């Protein structure tokens, strides 16, 4: 049976947040910052860190187990699995194959990785919808797991105070709660060095990333709304990648939307890269007052993608 591509969408989300974390208030002396800077500018009070022996695939599996516990998904019926990560277990094989094995998914299940950072979930949502529709699939998994604790320098204020570990599993099914419209995509490859991992260590040009996000994201969201013929006042929530509180406030100001509609909510876990948007959306799946949602991911690449989600009646 060929699935109706119009009906494919998000049916559930499972989230895995590691228990262990590090308070940024404990780092104030080391990095010469005060409480106000942490609360008002970074927005991140605590970053979560996975166990040293936890592999990326383990985080992914735990997110899928959380999805299983909170939804009607039948793993035996999953036909495709996409893992978004740039911190895989190994250079090869692809992490999706390892996750496939650990979950015991069917042999007829397609499994592949997407190498993207903070734009990865939005890109992945478009890819998995199209892939499933093209191939008549009815049940698929989009998993984001990109633990930056593997590559963050503990002495680098620019990154260690921001990034946290997490994973999210998004179930795509023919009985969805949210369906997506058209997406936008973009790349500025010339600036790839602004956020890069060299010799196993992450470095970030904070100003370069801030300029990129402040310039591109508001104009991209305006384009997205125009493409989808949605008025900005009809958007209930703007789920923006949780780069930092200051970044989100800047984007919200440039979009002329109240900060509450484009909130920074990652205070207790940090910037979880491609998992930041599905973690937020998971909290809204049962909130019927949230009907129209803009999602926008931006970062490594430099790359960005935005999409619009409509609640299915």
Partner 1 sequence: MTVTTEQILEIIRKADIPEIDADTLQSDVTFRDQGIDSLDAMSIYLNVEETFGFKIPDEDIEGLNSVAALAAYASRAAA
What are the residues binding partner 1 (CB under 8 A)?
37, 40-41, 205-208, 210-211, 214-215, 246, 249-250, 253
Q: Where are the alpha helices (DSSP H) in the chain?
A: 28-31, 35-36, 56-70, 95-103, 120-134, 157-160, 206-227, 245-255, 276-282
CA separation for the pair 132, 2 (Å, rounded): 10
CA 20, distance to chain mean position in Å, is 20
CA 275, distance to chain mean position in Å, is 3
Structure tokens at 312: 């299915």
Q: Is the CB of 186 or the CB of 208 nearer to partner 1? A: 208
CA separation for the pair 313, 174 (Å, rounded): 14
Shortest separation between residue 33's beta carbon and partner 1, angstroms: 9
CA separation for the pair 302, 196 (Å, rounded): 10
205 DSSP assignment: -
CA separation for the pair 13, 143 (Å, rounded): 9
Q: Is the CB of 44 or the CB of 73 nearer to partner 1? A: 44
Q: Is the CB of 41 or the CB of 102 nearer to partner 1? A: 41
Shortest separation between residue 175's beta carbon and partner 1, angstroms: 42
Query: Which residues have CB under 8 Å from 313's CB, separation 6+?
Result: none
Q: Is the CB of 55 or the CB of 251 nearer to partner 1? A: 251
Shortest separation between residue 218's beta carbon and partner 1, angstroms: 12
Q: Is the CB of 218 or the CB of 307 nearer to partner 1? A: 218
Shortest separation between residue 253's beta carbon and partner 1, angstroms: 5
Beta bridge partners of 184: 306
* CA R_g for the chain: 18
3-state helix, strand, coil in the chain (%, to 5): 40, 25, 35
Shortest separation between residue 240's beta carbon and partner 1, angstroms: 15
Shortest separation between residue 200's beta carbon and partner 1, angstroms: 24
Q: Is the CB of 214 or the CB of 312 nearer to partner 1? A: 214
Q: Is the CB of 36 or the CB of 108 nearer to partner 1? A: 36
Shortest separation between residue 205's beta carbon and partner 1, angstroms: 7
CA separation for the pair 259, 253 (Å, rounded): 8
Shortest separation between residue 210's beta carbon and partner 1, angstroms: 5
- Within 10 A of 182 (CB to CB), how many other CB atoms are there? 12
Q: Is the CB of 211 or the CB of 287 nearer to partner 1? A: 211
């Amino acid at each position: 049976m060929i699935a109706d591509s119009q009906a494919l969408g998000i049916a559930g989300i499972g989230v895995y947040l590691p228990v262990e974390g590090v308070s940024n208030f404990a780092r104030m002396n080391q990095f010469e910052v005060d409480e106000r800077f942490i609360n008002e500018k970074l927005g991140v009070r605590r970053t979560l860190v996975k166990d040293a022996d936890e592999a990326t695939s383990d985080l992914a599996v735990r997110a899928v187990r959380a999805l299983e516990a909170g939804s009607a998904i039948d793993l035996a019926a999953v036909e495709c699995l996409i893992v978004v990560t740039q911190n895989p277990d190994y250079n090869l094989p692809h992490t999706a194959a390892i996750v496939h094995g650990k979950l015991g998914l069917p042999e007829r299940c397609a499994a592949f990785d997407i190498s993207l950072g903070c734009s990865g979930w939005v890109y992945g949502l478009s890819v998995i919808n199209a892939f499933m529709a093209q191939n008549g699939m009815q049940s698929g998994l989009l998993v984001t797991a990109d633990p930056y604790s593997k590559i963050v320098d503990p002495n680098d204020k620019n990154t260690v105070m921001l990034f946290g570990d997490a994973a999210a599993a998004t179930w795509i099914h023919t009985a969805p709660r949210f369906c997506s419209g058209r997406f936008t995509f973009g790349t500025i490859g010339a600036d790839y060095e602004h956020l890069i991992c060299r010799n196993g260590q992450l470095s970030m040009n904070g100003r370069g990333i801030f300029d990129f996000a402040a310039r591109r994201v508001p104009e991209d969201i305006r384009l997205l709304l125009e493409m989808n013929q949605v008025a900005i006042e009809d958007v209930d929530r703007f789920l923006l990648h949780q780069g930092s509180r200051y970044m989100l406030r800047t984007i919200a100001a440039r979009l002329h939307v109240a900060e509450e509609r484009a909130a920074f909510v990652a205070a207790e876990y940090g910037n979880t890269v491609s998992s930041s948007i599905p973690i937020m959306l998971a909290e809204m799946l049962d909130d019927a007052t949230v009907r129209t949602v803009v999602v926008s991911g931006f970062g490594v690449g430099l790359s960005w993608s935005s999409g619009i989600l409509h609640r299915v009646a």
